Amino acid sequence: MQILMKRRTTGALLFTALCTAHLCPTQLSAQDVLVQASKIVVAYGEGSTAATVLTDSALLLRDGKIAFVGADIPAEARRAARVVDYGKATISPGFVLAATTLGRDADLAEGALAFTPDLRAAEAFDPWQKELAQLATAGVTSFGLAPSPRNVAGGIGALAKAGKKQGRIETAEAFVGFSLTRAARSQERMPTSLMGALEMLRDSFKTARVGVQVGPDLAVLRQVMSGQRRALIHADTFAELNGALDLAKNFNFAPVIIGARDADKVMAKLAERGVGVVLAPLNPKARIADLELPKKLAKAGVPFCFAGRPDQLRFSAALAVRYGLDRNVANAALTRTPANLIGALTTVGSLRQGCGADFVVFEGDLLDLGSRHVATWVDGENLHGESPAGAKTSQTTNSAGGR
Amino acid sequence: MTVIEAGTVHPVSGPEIKNGVVVIRGERILAVGQQGELELPPNTKVYKFPNGHIYPGLIDASTDAFADAGLRSDGSLNGGSKIADGLMWTDSRDDHLIEHGITTAYISIRAGSQLRGQGAIVRPRASGFDLWEDREQAALQLLMTKGPGASHALQRQSQLEAIGRLFDGLDKFREAKEKYEEELEKYETDFEKYLEYHAKKNGKDKEKGKPNGDKAKKEESKKPAEAKPKADGSEPAGRRRGGRRGEGRPPRGGGAQEMSAETFEKTLATIMALLGKPKTETPTTGSQDPKPQGRSGDRATATPTRSPTKSGGDKAKKGEGPKRPKYPKKPRPDPQKEALLKVLDGELPLRIEAHRVDELLAALRLQRDKEIPVVVLERAYGADRVTRKIAAQGATVVLTDVLPNSLGVPGDKRNPYSKFDPTALPKKLNDEGIPFAIASGTARLASLLPMMAAAAIGRGLSEDAALRAITLTPAEILGIAKDTGSLTREKFADVIVTDVPLFASDSRVLLVVAKGRTEYEAK
């Protein structure tokens, strides 16, 4: 075990170096870009908070980030920027997919061991994998690359993004993934039952709490208990949810539950303990109770978002709206809430100054399927969609009094 | 009289009307216009939705509502099966179409058999449904696909060609049927002549005061009671004289093969008139079952010719006068062939479920080869590749699964259907001028019918075309456009009201009026 851990640590260091050298190229842009539209949603509010919306405004993109928003854009920068005008369309923050293995489930699970909290999902990230190309088409601009739910403690998830040619890791260590679902139990290794899985986690957390010198695996658990790192726990059934919530209560951390099929049975506990939920995509043929779960979670004040296939995000949110969810909450569930749940709110999920220039452009409200998806931008680059008609690619002479 | 006022009226048949009004009298629309333009009589029931939107009742051109699990998985369906006979109201979530604004639906079953019965048009109600009169058998369903499973294109082709053989033997069936009808007509004429001859003869006997008639009566009274036909014109149960097992039974489909009760009554009346006796009396000579069936009729013909001779009362020699005609041999009843003949005659549309391009081409070839006048292509996912051919042949299309990535993840090589994009298809069909309807495909998705149309709008289809695809065009495809599909004077008062535009995800149905009756009102 010690040898394994050493190897892991060495691997991690090597990875960090590689990441710095190759996978995280600085997105330098020779010129600022001024993106204009009749409506820009800077950030969707969570809960009862209203969204921050600008009318006939603009964003100034610099080096892949939002440099200035609306009236804050300096006149000089405005004049020097390349202008992209989306006219009557609406610009919103790009969708954040809270947890996905992006089709690489096998590479994100250690089959022989159930407890590997210090493994890094980022190490299995392939920046050229073809699934990345589908993200922008679906409006997804960043995603949590999560360990597979096949391990009780799967490892450390990363925040990643698609790119023009290749994807990249934005944050290599964003959250820790656990699982209590059936997938984590195996007859070929321990644990074989839910009881065993819970006991394994309890023992580990206890050791991490009392131990003086702990290995990298237990160190990760310490980070969870201290609130440094978010814990995302896969749990679907009532027993799994209850187990996860008790574990979190005993070791004093607020988890995020992934799946939560039976969330309505533990709704009060979820709300009381400030637990977030990452829901599986909604199936239009599902029971009415399942389709109304987002509405119930919102009513109870439980923050939630959607996960699953990238192309299912928007449709799930639209379906939730069809079944009574408030539009503002649904929009937040695609952007701000998932960013918050994986601890990446400062970098993605909104269009505030300093955040990544990740946004989507729709003709109309993106929750209406009749609204056309015009474009997706990631890190200040147009990855999907057309160049708007009348876009100016040269310097503009607009005065500061404009947008 | 009922009046519905709303912020916007979308008649489909014309431009939208701001501050519009729909006036209903009885079960029909009396007028559609702008508020204030029309003078309303007193005691009019008025619904007011100042911010609402009025649309025609939605039409789901393909659903399996009102069919229970047994019917949905019935693999024994064939071309002769009438889906309408198996429909029932179960009060399940799937049967509440009316709450989603669907006032007309075409019901079909997606069972595994190639010919899956004849679909029916129904009018959903708050707690039940009505069958659309004369549209209980609205189309014949044909399956021409192997589905998304792995199969070789050539293998599929040979199987698809085999479907064409379903139409084999129809000419002979038609000939036999026509021949039978001709012979039946001739039989009726000959039989009348025959009766006339004997009636005249009996009249002469009467004049002579000979009691031939009484003798005949006596003979008749000796015959077993079961030999008399039933009141409904069918043969008595268990009667299979000289025929094979089951041949004596009336055919299920009914029709021209058999003399109907009405015809029988008429014939009987003719006989009685000719004999100069009241209808209720037992005829003397014509009582030998004027309605013999199948082979059983052959033997029945022998008796009356002997009877007058045997009676000895008439002195006519054998062979004198017309011989009693033989009842023609009827062709074996075959409801499936009957349905296919109706398809060939254009009386019944053929709805072909074909997905891939090769399946669609085979369906179009079938239409061409068999000269089928009305073909509707269902779930034609690959139709964008054959739009010109579809347009050239005048086929129409009913699209289902018009939801984002409903057929799988794009680029999934294991799923051959992942390359299809049902949301982009409506625009392509519209651009080629092909009439198409967007349908739920299954009752479970009924509430999402407007969202399906919205998904097509998101891929470039105009709102007007999308609205038409769930109202007027399905009505045209189903052949009921003169009665529903738009807010037009004299059409059925099928009207729905929504709180926000229909294509918004959070649009709620506030009111549903079907045929002038309020079937649903949101609380």
Going by C-alpha positions, the residue among A290, A272, A312, A263 that lies closest to residue A100 is A312
Q: Do B454 and A309 touch (CB under 8 A)?
A: no
Q: Do A369 and B455 touch (CB under 8 A)?
A: yes
Please report whether residue B342 resides in a domain.
no
B420 touches chain A (CB under 8 A): no
Q: Do A309 and B409 touch (CB under 8 A)?
A: yes
Claim to verify: residue A146 and residue A286 sit in the same structural domain: yes
Q: Do B505 and A130 touch (CB under 8 A)?
A: no
Q: Which residue has the higher pLDDT, B38 or B349?
A: B349
Q: Which residue has the higher pLDDT, A25 or B107?
A: B107
Claim to verify: residue B37 and residue B113 sit in the same structural domain: no
User: How many structural domains compose chain A?
Assistant: 2
pLDDT at B117 over 90: yes
The beta-carbon neighbor of A370 closest among B403, B442, B454 is B454
How many angstroms separate the first and last alpha carbons of chain B?
23
From chain B, pick out residues whose CB is under 8 angstroms from the CB of A313: none
**DSSP single-letter state for residue B234:** P
Instruction: Determine the 3-state secondary structure of B85 from DSSP.
Output: helix
Cα–chain-centroid distance for residue A13?
24
Q: What is the pLDDT of residue A47?
A: 67
CATH label of the domain that carries residue B471: 3.20.20.140
B143 touches chain A (CB under 8 A): no
Q: How many CA atoms lie within 13 A of A281 on its CB side?
A: 19
Q: What is the pLDDT of residue B8?
A: 97
Claim to verify: residue B205 and residue B298 sit in the same structural domain: yes
Please report whether residue A347 resides in a domain.
no
Q: What tens digit of pLDDT does each residue of B147-172 get?
A: 887 778 788 778 777 888 888 888 88
Q: What tens digit of pLDDT does each residue of B120-140 get?
A: 999 999 999 999 999 999 999
Q: What is the pLDDT of residue B318?
A: 56
B65 touches chain A (CB under 8 A): no
B403 touches chain A (CB under 8 A): yes
Q: What is the pLDDT of residue A49?
A: 77
The two tokens of residue B216 are 């005949």
Claim to verify: residue B435 and residue B460 sit in the same structural domain: yes
The beta-carbon neighbor of B448 closest among A284, A372, A373 is A284
A-B CB pairs within 8 A amount to 67
From chain A, pick out residues whose CB is under 8 angstroms from the CB of B463: 370
**Inter-residue contact B357 to B382 (CB < 8 Å):** yes
Claim to verify: residue A87 and residue A162 sit in the same structural domain: no
CA distance A284 to chain B (A): 7
Q: What is the pLDDT of residue B262?
A: 60
Q: How far is CA A56 from CA A6, A42, A402, B77, B168, in A?
A: 56, 13, 9, 61, 68
Please report whether residue B39 resides in a domain.
yes
How many angstroms separate the first and last alpha carbons of chain A?
60
Claim to verify: residue A57 and residue A203 sit in the same structural domain: no
Claim to verify: residue B444 and residue B426 sit in the same structural domain: yes
CA distance A372 to chain B (A): 4
Q: For residue A57, what are the β-bridge partners?
A: A37
Q: Do A369 and B458 touch (CB under 8 A)?
A: yes
pLDDT more than 90, % of chain B: 57
Please give the residue range of the domain that contains residue B19.
1-57+485-523
Claim to verify: residue A257 and residue A216 sit in the same structural domain: yes
The secondary structure of chain A, three-state, reads CHHHHHHHHHHHHHHHHHHHHHHCCCCCCCCCEEEEEEEEEEECCCCCCCCEEEEEEEEEEECCEEEEEHHHCCHHHHHHCEEEECCCCEEEECEEEEEECCCCCHHHCCCCCCECCCCEHHHHCCCCCCHHHHHHHCCEEEEEECCCCCCCEEEEEEEEECCCCCCEEEEEEEEEEEECCHHHCCCCCCCCCHHHHHHHHHHHHHHHHHCCCCCHHHHHHHHHHHCCCEEEEEECCHHHHHHHHHHHHHCCCCCEEEECCCHHHHHHHHHHCCCEEEECCCCCCCCHHHHCHHHHHHHHCCCEEECCCHHHHHHHHHHHHHCCCCHHHHHHHHCHHHHHHCCCCCCCCCCCCCCECCEEEEECCCCCCCCEEEEEEECCEEEEECCCCCCCCCECCCCCCCC
Dump strand ranges (E) for B410-491: 436-438
Q: Do B505 and A318 touch (CB under 8 A)?
A: yes
Claim to verify: residue B141 and residue B80 sit in the same structural domain: yes
Query: A-side interface with B, Cβ within 8 Å?
Result: 130, 134, 137, 284-285, 288, 309, 311-312, 314-315, 318-319, 321-322, 327, 365, 367-373
Going by C-alpha positions, the residue among A250, A150, A154, A258 that lies closest to residue A199 is A250
Claim to verify: residue A219 and residue A367 sit in the same structural domain: no
> What are phi and psi for residue B474, nearest 5 degrees?
-60, -35
Chain B residue at shortest CA distance from A371: B458
Cis peptide before A191 (omega within 30 of 0): yes
Q: How far is A253 from B221, CA to CA, in rounded Å?
A: 100
Please report whether residue A204 resides in a domain.
yes
From chain B, pick out residues whose CB is under 8 angstroms from the CB of A318: 451, 505
Claim to verify: residue A210 and residue A84 sit in the same structural domain: no
- Burial letters for B413-433: b for 16+ Cβ neighbours within 10 Å, e otherwise? eeebbbebbbbbbbbbbbebe
Please report whether residue B326 resides in a domain.
no
Q: How far is CA A369 from CA A87, A322, B381, B449, in A?
A: 20, 11, 20, 12
From chain B, pick out residues whose CB is under 8 angstroms from the CB of A369: 404, 451, 454-455, 457-458, 503, 505
Q: Which residue has the higher pLDDT, B219 or A65?
A: A65
Claim to verify: residue A103 and residue A59 sit in the same structural domain: no
pLDDT at B517 over 60: yes
Q: What is the pLDDT of residue B251?
A: 40
The two tokens of residue B33 are 């216009």
Claim to verify: residue B403 and residue B369 sit in the same structural domain: yes
Q: Which residue has the higher pLDDT, A396 or B104?
A: B104
Q: What is the mean pLDDT of each run of 10 residues along chain A (403 residues)?
A: 44 45 43 95 83 95 96 94 95 96 89 92 94 92 96 96 92 96 90 95 94 85 94 97 96 96 95 95 94 96 94 95 96 96 94 96 96 96 78 42 39
CATH label of the domain that carries residue A107: 3.20.20.140
The two tokens of residue B25 are 């009298």
Identify the residue among B506, B507, B508, B509 best suited for mutation to test binding to A, counting A beta carbons within 10 A and taking the highest.
Answer: B506
B444 touches chain A (CB under 8 A): yes
Q: pLDDT category, B241, cuts 50, 70, 90?
A: very low
Q: What is the pLDDT of residue B252?
A: 40
Q: How far is A95 from A314, CA to CA, in rounded Å?
A: 8
Claim to verify: residue B10 and residue B65 sit in the same structural domain: no
From chain A, pick out residues whose CB is under 8 angstroms from the CB of B454: 368-370
Sign of CA dihedral B362, B368, B371, B376: positive
Q: What is the pLDDT of residue B375?
A: 96
Q: What tens digit of pLDDT does each residue of B249-294 get?
A: 334 433 344 455 566 666 666 766 666 555 444 444 433 444 433 3
The beta-carbon neighbor of A369 closest among B93, B409, B454 is B454
Sign of CA dihedral B315, B316, B318, B323: negative
Please report whether residue B91 resides in a domain.
yes
Question: Pseudo-torsion of CA A171, A175, A180, A184, nearest 10°?
Answer: 30
Please report whether residue A126 resides in a domain.
yes
Q: Do B447 and A322 touch (CB under 8 A)?
A: yes
Going by C-alpha positions, the residue among A302, A157, A296 that lies closest to residue A231 is A157
Q: Do A368 and B442 touch (CB under 8 A)?
A: no
Identify the residue among B402, B457, B505, B509 best suited for mutation to test binding to A, counting A beta carbons within 10 A and taking the highest.
Answer: B505
> What are phi and psi for residue B177, nearest 5 degrees?
-65, -45
Q: What tens digit of pLDDT does each residue of B39-89 get?
A: 778 888 999 999 999 999 999 999 999 998 888 888 888 899 999 999 999
Please report whether residue A391 resides in a domain.
no
**Inter-residue contact A42 to A352 (CB < 8 Å):** yes
Q: What is the pLDDT of residue A34?
A: 96
Claim to verify: residue A307 and residue A357 sit in the same structural domain: no
Claim to verify: residue B20 and residue B118 sit in the same structural domain: no
> What are phi and psi for residue B125, nearest 5 degrees?
-130, 180
Q: What tens digit of pLDDT does each residue of B387-428 get?
A: 999 999 999 999 999 999 888 877 788 888 988 999 999 999
Question: How large is the average pLDDT for residues B211-229?
Answer: 45
Claim to verify: residue A300 and residue A316 sit in the same structural domain: yes
List of residues 6+ apart from B518 with CB closer than 8 A: B2, B511, B512
Please report whether residue A22 resides in a domain.
no
B457 touches chain A (CB under 8 A): yes
Please report whether residue A239 resides in a domain.
yes
The two tokens of residue B379 are 């779930």
CA distance A369 to chain B (A): 5
B458 touches chain A (CB under 8 A): yes
Question: How large is the average pLDDT for residues B465-484?
Answer: 97
Going by C-alpha positions, the residue among B450, B439, B451, B428 that lies closest to residue B382 is B428
Q: What is the pLDDT of residue B403?
A: 94
Q: How many CB atoms lie within 10 A of CB B370?
A: 17
The two tokens of residue B60 are 């789901």
Among A308, A341, A374, residue at a domain's last position: A341
Please report whether residue A28 resides in a domain.
no
Claim to verify: residue A197 and residue A333 sit in the same structural domain: yes
List of residues 6+ apart from A74 with CB closer than 8 A: A68, A400
Q: What is the pLDDT of residue B260?
A: 57
B176 touches chain A (CB under 8 A): no
**Inter-residue contact A58 to A75 (CB < 8 Å):** no
* Residue reference for tokens 């057929």: B407
Claim to verify: residue A169 and residue A61 sit in the same structural domain: no
Q: How far is A362 from A369, CA to CA, in rounded Å?
A: 10
CATH label of the domain that carries residue A81: 2.30.40.10
The two tokens of residue B353 are 């479920």
Chain A residue at shortest CA distance from B467: A370
Please report whether residue B196 resides in a domain.
yes
B411 touches chain A (CB under 8 A): yes
Q: What is the pLDDT of residue B244?
A: 37
Q: What is the pLDDT of residue A48?
A: 66
Q: What tens digit of pLDDT does each residue of A197-233 get?
A: 999 999 999 999 987 777 899 999 999 999 999 999 9
The secondary structure of B271-299, three-state, reads HHHHHCCCCCCCCCCCCCCCCCCCCHHHH
CA distance B63 to chain A (A): 14
Please report whether residue A21 resides in a domain.
no
Q: For residue A153, what are the β-bridge partners?
A: A115, A178
The beta-carbon neighbor of B404 closest among A315, A321, A365 is A315
pLDDT, averaged across chain B: 82
Claim to verify: residue B92 and residue B203 sit in the same structural domain: no
Rg of chain A over all Cα atoms, to the nearest angstrom: 22
Please give the residue range of the domain that contains residue A264.
95-341
Question: How large is the average pLDDT for residues B433-460?
Answer: 96
Q: What tens digit of pLDDT does each residue of B451-470 get?
A: 999 999 999 999 999 999 99
Chain B residue at shortest CA distance from A367: B505
Q: Where do the H-state alpha helices sit in B396-438?
A: 425-431
Q: What is the pLDDT of residue A182?
A: 94
Claim to verify: residue B13 and residue B84 sit in the same structural domain: no
Claim to verify: residue B131 and residue B10 sit in the same structural domain: no
Claim to verify: residue B475 and residue B444 sit in the same structural domain: yes
Sign of CA dihedral A149, A151, A154, A158: negative
**Inter-residue contact A116 to A382 (CB < 8 Å):** no
Please report whether residue B428 resides in a domain.
yes
User: How many structural domains compose chain B?
Assistant: 3
Q: What is the pLDDT of residue B279?
A: 45
Claim to verify: residue A53 and residue A120 sit in the same structural domain: no
